[in-house]
Structure 1
Amino acid sequence: MPLRFHQSILKYCAIALLAVPLMLQGCSPNDFINTDGSSVTQGNATVEQANALFNQGKKREAAQTYYAAAARYPTPQRERVILQAAEIAASIGDANLTNTYLAKVPASALDGENRARQAYVRALLALQQNNPALALRTLPTNLDNLSPALREKVKHIQQRAQAMASGNGGGAAPSVQNVQTALVPTSVTRVAALLPQSGALGSVGQEIYRGIDTARNSVARETSVQLYDVSAGGAVAQYQRAVADGADIVIGPLDKESLAELLAQPQVLSKPLLSLNYLTNSRNIPGALYQFGLLPEDEARQVAETTSARGLRTAIVLAPASSWGDRISGAFRAAYQAKGGQVINIQQFADTPSNAYLQNVQNALAATQGRASMVFLAASPSQARLMRPLLAAQAPELPIYATSHIFSGRVDAGKDADLDGIMYTEIPWVMEGLQSGTLNNSQFPRMFALGMDAFLIAKNLPSIARNPNTQVNGKTGNIRLMGNRQVQRTLLFATFANGVPQAVGQ
């Protein structure tokens, strides 16, 4: 996505560091590079001109203009704009242009973020030249201090490179370096559930277990389920106890800390473990580990893929200024761009509902100058109830898409009338509960559904794990097992009408 700068140079560059693709070539301050490598005087080149060229699909010209415009800025902002040019050049597979730009970035100007961007550009070029091994060796390894947008780009290239290296043609691939051979049960007659029954997650753990037990009574009464309280004995001790009691598979734990505790001792994992959370930064996936949960990134990616397929190719992203907001907006952006879409503006708003939301909406709309074809809203129910009327008043023609997080899971038509018209992803169990009038009977309906599907996956793991094309129509969505043994869900789409969710066609 092209760089955008505002009134002051420093403010321009601070914003530009948050989002954009990379590509340019290097020359003297008033030159820019032709496709044959010669330089042309272009003293009036601006980032705004480069943005316009990029939006017109003229990527090579955009890269050249970004490079020429870089001369307007001091170090390290100048180098950041050159790296923008280099990214665009790499994306079109022009090695000469990419390397020319990269050569114009001195090592002294490569701070942490710019150094990581340079590595990312080299990896992108390697991937475009069908060299996934070089791409994987080139990518930055420490992602902790990178901006969310760059982190998502690096992960996306890593996944593509791993897929290409494994002969998967660029499809879904592990986001880690080493996925050990799967441990698959021959049959499942005894299931253990490692869930908290007290403390902060106690009520959630109890709801998940009720879902597990409901599924067992519905489809496999002959299968036993034994509960082990993680909050009472710790994840490792309870896992070992479950295995000693004869469990064929263990469901849980729920929290990342308990999962990390188990993965720190992979030698104890002698039976398959279906965790109810994800540790996506693991460098090694033990053969026993299968990961399942209500991952918000899955929903963001589904929205991106669906909207781009519908021809909505320019988006505003509104997300809270939080780690959750960074995750979900980053996932949407990466998937949207991979499908040919362009995120024109990402506007962060206060995580606590605020009177500043109107200004956030106005800023986002002003930045896009009428070019947006949709809004992706990452928000909680209270945030979405404030955002939707503001968007309707300021830009009534723009469709709004969101994830299930905008709906609390409990019917409250009076409050949720403000959400009318939003298209969002929702799980089948919630829609079933709405139709039957039983949704409000459950405190955490999505956690209940998670428990039902966890049992369904565990019971059928012998066949699911051996047939990668198997899809299961679950209560949390259409389920399939990916190559890294993470469970991916595809949800329904719903909208609000008079404050009540209702299913809509895909």
Structure 2
Amino acid sequence: MHKKLSHGIRQYLWIALLAAPFLLQGCSNSLVPGSSDTTSQSDVSIEQANALLSKGKKREAAQTYYAAASRYPSPQRERVILQAAEIAASIGDAKLTNSYLAKVPASALDGENRGRLAYVKALLALQQNNPALALRTLPTNLDKLSPALREKVKHVRKRAQAMAGGSTQNVQQALVPTSVNRVAALLPQSGSLGSVSQEIYRGIATARNNLASNASVQIYDVNAGGAVAQYQRAVADGADMIVGPLDKESLAQLLAQPRMLTTPILSLNYLTNSLNVPGALYQFGLLPEDEARQVAEFATARGQRTAIVMAPASSWGERVANAFRSAYQAKGGQVVNIQQYPDSPSNAYMQNVQTALAATQGRASMVFLAASPSQARLMRPLLAAQAPSTPVYATSHIFSGRLDPGKDSDLDGIIYTEIPWVIEALQAGSLNNSAFPRMYALGMDAFLIAKNLPSIASNPNAQVNGKTGTIRLARNREVQRKLLMATFINGVPQPLGQ
């Protein structure tokens, strides 16, 4: 059976490689998302899927690949599911693509399949006219990919770069409230995001008390009936502005019915791969890509123009590494090595550091470290021991938000992006009073933006000093933030230069 799979995959790769320019250039974004797979799993095969694909029946081929995947063990199963997802992405069917990707557990992804997953997501973004997202999503290290996948990645990158130079998203005319006196917060009150949402709402309430005690804020539980029903209820109750939802699934439910959106929404997450951005939508969140780009700009301004990038082998790691690399190169910098390290803390970290430094032969003037607190606490001492004079930069993700000098002394000297609220709370001695200080700050700024949206939206140069950073509204109505630069001294974050 495995021989049959291998033969089938090779046959498809040959067909796909020949057909790639046509698949990527001739797809329509107007196709209606496909229905769920109804093919019996017991009577399908890779060969049947190949035959359907060769006849141009791409949706049927995708469904057949997916149905056939159950016949194989992991990781071959995930490889075939990714094949189905790739074909669905090539026809711009986001619903079908994402339904397949949801069946691919991260734990089952080896290097090749992880690269293919990133490629499929980038292909879908490209088909939905979002070249910037495609470029951010593509895998960064092509050396570990098969020749066929490497060529596909290069093809998508070339096309995305061409599109990025000459087109923008279709952004509809902005819907701006005349005044904001009644704010509705669409947040889950239970489940995995329940405690996070409580902290966000606490921040909203604090800002409301400090900034506009005459304004009202009412919470609507998106877990009770769904985001659409709660949005409609909030509008019926007279809300001037909707804050939320927090999760992408709820946001996608609202965007699926753009004509219903008659009251402006300040989402607390981003769905930047939407082809048509409704005029009611303003997007706000704590994007790690924003921080990576700021680090790139800060480092190049200091004259540090050759970088090593160290990032975990995960989708988050690839996103952050891609954002840094793009911004760094745009400012004249050169990434001389990208080193992926295991997502789980590992004894291999020492080898990863040595490999990265050896590959650059002393040419790197800085290291950009994408890492969690536990990863950074292990990586930073290794970098300090191997290259003590090379500065290390990171994003706020290296700090847990809880003061712990004993553990965080290993982070001393790292220069990183941090939100103003964390520094303020540290200096006031109140940081540990909040379970999720950055989410609390997000809530405060969400109310600040919502209340002042009439003036912010009317002035393209407006900037607001918020708790998550200096805030401005981009032309596509995405909220962009500029954070503080901080460092660790004796295991405690401090503003850089103070």
Match of 1:245?
237
- What amino acid does structure 2 have at the position aligned with 1:234? G
Shift of 1:265: 1.0
**What is the aligned counterpart of 2:405 among 405, 410, 413?**
413
- 1:499 and 2:491 are equivalent in the alignment: yes
Query: Who is 2:308 aligned against?
Result: 316
Q: For the residues of structure 2 that align with 1:230 and 1:337, how far apart are their CA atoms?
A: 41
Of the three residues 209, 214, 224, the one matched with 2:201 is 209
Contact 1:250–1:273 (Cα < 8 Å) also in 2: yes
User: When the two structures are superposed, what TM-score results if normalisation uses the length of structure 1?
Assistant: 0.68
Q: Which residue matches 2:448?
A: 456
Quick one: structure 1 residues 446 and 188, their matched pair in 2 at CA, closer, same or farther if it must change by over 3 Å?
same
- Letter of the 1:226 counterpart: Q
* Correspondence for 1:9: none
Rounded Cα–Cα distance in structure 2 between residues aligned with 1:425 and 1:249: 30
Give unmatched runs, 5+ long, in structure 2: 1-114, 142-152
Task: Please name the residue that 1:336 is paired with.
Answer: 328
Q: What is the aligned counterpart of 2:227 among 235, 243, 249? A: 235
Deviations 1:399-432 (A, max 9, x none): 0000000000000000000000000000000000
Take 2:382 and 2:211, find their aligned partners in 1: how far apart are those partners? Answer: 47
Q: Give the residue type in structure 1 aligned to 2:332.
A: G
Counterpart for residue 427 of structure 2: 435
Alignment partners' CA distance in 1, 2:463 and 2:131: 33
Contact 1:182 1:287 in 2 (8 A): yes
Residue 295 of structure 1 deviates from its aligned partner by 0.3
1:273 aligned residue = 265
Residue 142 to residue 407, structure 1, CA distance change in 2 (3 Å): closer
- The alpha-carbon distance between structure 1 residues 491 and 185, as it changes in their structure 2 partners (threshold 3 A), is same
Q: Is the 8 A contact 1:152 1:331 kept in 2?
A: no
Query: CA contact under 8 A between 1:153 and 1:334: conserved in structure 2?
Result: no
> Which residue matches 2:337?
345
Secondary structure, counterpart of 2:224 in structure 1? helix
- For the 8 Å contact 1:211–1:451, the answer to whether it is kept is yes
- Tell which deviates more after alignment, 144-153 or 471-480: 144-153
Instruction: Quote the Cα distance in structure 2 between the aligned partners of 1:142 and 1:313.
Output: 25
Shift of 1:148: 4.7
Match of 2:252 among 241, 260, 266: 260
The 1-side partners of 2:470 and 2:158 are apart by 27
Classify the secondary structure of the residue corresponding to 2:166: helix
Contact 1:362/1:394, CA 8 A, preserved across alignment: yes
Instruction: Tell me how far apart the structure 2 counterparts of residues 334 and 375 of structure 1 sit (CA, whole Å).
Output: 15
Residue 423 (structure 1) aligned to one of 402, 412, 415: 415
Identity of aligned residues (%): 75
Q: Does the alignment pair 1:490 with 2:476?
A: no
Counterpart secondary structure, 2:177: coil
Q: Are residues 141 and 351 of structure 1, via their aligned partners in 2, closer, same or farther at CA, if it must alter by over 3 Å?
A: closer
Per-residue deviation at 1:391? 0.3
The change in CA–CA distance for 1:441 and 1:154 in structure 2 (over 3 A counts) is: farther
1:161 to 166, 176, 190: 166
Measured on the aligned residues, the alpha-carbon RMSD in Å equals 2.6
Offset, 1:140: 11
Q: Which letter maps to 1:210?
A: R
1:373 and 2:378 matched: no
Q: Does 1:475 align with 2:467?
A: yes
- Give the C-alpha shift of residue 233 in structure 1: 2.3
**Paired letter, 2:289:** E
The 4+ residue runs of structure 1 with deviation greater than 4 A are 136-146, 148-160
Change in CA separation of 1:137 and 1:423 when aligned onto 2, cut-off 3 Å: closer
Secondary structure in 2 matching 1:231: coil
Q: Deviations over 1:306-355 (max 9, x none)?
A: 10111000000000000000000000000000000000000001110001
Cα contact 1:416–1:500 (8 A) shared by 2:
yes
Q: Bigger shift: 246-255 or 148-157? A: 148-157
Distance in 2, matches of 1:422 and 1:235, equals: 41
What does residue 286 of structure 2 align with? 294
Change (3 A) 1:157 1:434: farther
- Please name the residue that 2:19 is paired with: none
Structure 1 stretches of 5 or more lacking a match?
Answer: 1-111, 124-135, 163-173
Q: Equivalent residues in 2 for 1:6-25 (5 A)?
A: none
Shift of 1:466: 0.7
Q: Deviations over 1:448-504 (max 9, x none)?
A: 000000000000000101101000000000000001000000000110000000001
1:154 and 1:476, CA in 2 relative to 1: closer, same or farther beyond 3 A? farther
AA paired with 2:363?
Answer: R
Q: What residue number does 2:356 align with?
A: 364
| Per-residue CA distance 1:109-158 (angstroms, 9 max, x = gap) | xxx99xx9xxx9xx9xxxxxxxxxxxx99979988995357677765664
Say how many residue pairs are matched. Answer: 363
Q: Is the 8 A contact 1:152 1:334 kept in 2?
A: no
1:369 and 1:446 map into 2 onto residues whose CA distance is 38
Checking the alignment, whether the CA contact within 8 Å between 2:135 and 2:160 is kept in structure 1 is: no
Judge conservation of contact 2:308–2:367 (CA < 8 Å) in 1: yes
In the alignment, the residues of structure 1 paired with residue 432 and residue 131 of structure 2 have an alpha-carbon distance, to the nearest angstrom, of: 48
- Three-state SS of the structure 2 residue aligned to 1:421 is coil
Contact conserved, 2:136 with 2:319, CA < 8 A, in 1? no
Deviations 1:191-220 (A, max 9, x none): 000001100000000000000000000010
Q: Which residue of 1 aligns with 2:172?
A: 180
Q: Quote the Cα distance in structure 1 between the aligned partners of 2:129 and 2:485.
A: 39
Secondary structure of the structure 2 residue equivalent to 1:479: strand
CA contact under 8 A between 1:180 and 1:285: conserved in structure 2?
A: yes
Counterparts of 1:269 and 1:442, CA distance in 2: 34
Whether contact under 8 Å (1:316, 1:376) holds in the other structure is yes
User: What is the distance in 2 between the residues matched to 1:471 and 1:494?
Assistant: 21
C-alpha contact (below 8 Å) 1:299/1:491 kept by paired residues: yes
Say which SS state the counterpart of residue 370 (structure 1) adopts: coil
In structure 1, C-alpha distance between the alignment counterparts of 2:136 and 2:417, rounded to whole Å: 29
Distance 2:138 2:423 in 1: 38
C-alpha contact (below 8 Å) 2:137/2:319 kept by paired residues = no
CA contact (8 A) 2:129 2:275 kept: no
Q: Is the 8 A contact 1:317 1:375 kept in 2?
A: yes
